[in-house]
A and B are shown apart, each in its own frame.
Chain A
């Protein structure tokens, strides 16, 4: 009888509570982290360029030295610089000339597009976004983060902010597979104010958010610490290590500028919080925001035009 009662009690509990959300979340959390482990490593050239550009004191010559050892990259850079966009009177035949025309940011963008473009360009089913939306958002964030950094040049290296902006949302490409159509549940939670923002919704549903997933991937890839921290804390910059907060806040603002400009990544829309403490690290007055958005718009259009010329 005792046994029957035990079994009966168990059956009743499972009927009333058909699933245990916490257990499911933990399982998904582990599955997401296992998926991160299955992502192939970065190419040597990409890893070296990212390592280099994360250092505030690097020069364009350092970037050239890495690119010189990558024949495919060199060929692509020469093809782009000789495209009609640049209107050179004489074709550029040397890598040095190509890179000095294109600039470091475009080189980094091309390297990343070549190596991790398959993650950046795929449609994000879990965010209801189309192919290319994530890459455009990342590029727009990168340009905006750099513009913010340029206003604070004495304390924030602009090129580091740019590269951080390109990489900040890489976790979405993995988390998307686990969210699938379940984004409706996050939107419902936001509408009921059960979660404070979209990353809170991801954590509630899956047990992990896209920033943490991206951080785990960045660690796996051995990206420089500053990139790892930008990716991990771009929605919660106040939690970043003190010496890296300035650049993390620059990407935080860059991300917001991209979303305000209509370049989000889908269902998450603008459901993220501005961390007001950015004013402790960066000077960006509300009046400067309009000029920033205008400048980002113009530079983004130029970059997209150039990158499509290949």
Chain B
């Protein structure tokens, strides 16, 4: 069974039965997961920062690092697997953790989540499920066969969204 591991900024899409996409230890980063029930394609991008304007030259080598370039690049990869368009796609989000801070000083997790929702909204999509925020990191596994999204974190039993 092929497991495609995505690092920070990694983008993956597959419709091969038995394969899965996985990304480890999302801190303030977010995994944007897209499922296409028509072509049975699953896709995931591990985005780290909300906006590529912070370092535009990085987009050429790692578009998945930023929310604003990572999500369109994920659509592009899914199109190569046969996905037609945003209509009918299922979106899920996970990650966006933050340090304990009542003032939300370094709220990159929250900004990533808001930016992702805004970009998705531009494609006419909204997440059907999300597991965002809190103070723990998340590892996400996405099975191509079932589309089941499994989350894990050190010291906790696995859960699904």
Are A and B interaction partners? yes
Do B108 and A269 touch across chains, with their CB atoms under 8 A apart? no
Kindly state whether residue A40 has any CB partner on chain B within 8 Å.
no
Stretch at the interface among A90-98, A159-167, A287-295: A287-295
A residues 253-296 touching B (CB-CB < 8 Å): 256, 259-264, 266-267, 269-274, 276, 286, 289-291, 293-294
B residues 130-144 touching A (CB-CB < 8 Å): 135-137
Do A129 and B154 touch across chains, with their CB atoms under 8 A apart? yes
**Which A residues are CB-close (under 8 A) to B103?**
276
A residues 225-272 touching B (CB-CB < 8 Å): 256, 259-264, 266-267, 269-272
Binding site for B on A (CB under 8 A): 127-129, 183-184, 187, 196-197, 256, 259-264, 266-267, 269-274, 276, 286, 289-291, 293-294, 297
Do A291 and B54 touch across chains, with their CB atoms under 8 A apart? yes
Give which listed residue, A183, A187, A260, A294, contacts B98 with CB less than 8 A.
Answer: A260
B residues 58-73 touching A (CB-CB < 8 Å): 58, 65
**Which B residues are CB-close (under 8 A) to A297?**
8, 48
Give which listed residue, A127, A183, A260, A291, contacts B28 with CB less than 8 A.
Answer: A260
A-B contact pairs, 15 of them (CB 8 A): A196-B100, A260-B28, A261-B29, A262-B27, A264-B154, A269-B135, A269-B154, A271-B100, A271-B135, A273-B99, A276-B103, A286-B107, A289-B106, A290-B49, A294-B65
**Which A residues are CB-close (under 8 A) to B106?**
256, 260, 274, 286, 289
**Which A residues are CB-close (under 8 A) to B108?**
260, 289-290, 293
Interface centre among B24, B58, B108, B135 (most CB of A within 10 A): B135
Do B100 and A274 touch across chains, with their CB atoms under 8 A apart? yes
Taking residues whose C-beta sits less than 8 angstroms from the other chain, chain B's interface range is: 20 to 34
Do A264 and B25 touch across chains, with their CB atoms under 8 A apart? yes
Interface centre among B28, B51, B155 (most CB of A within 10 A): B155
**Which B residues are CB-close (under 8 A) to A259?**
27, 99, 137
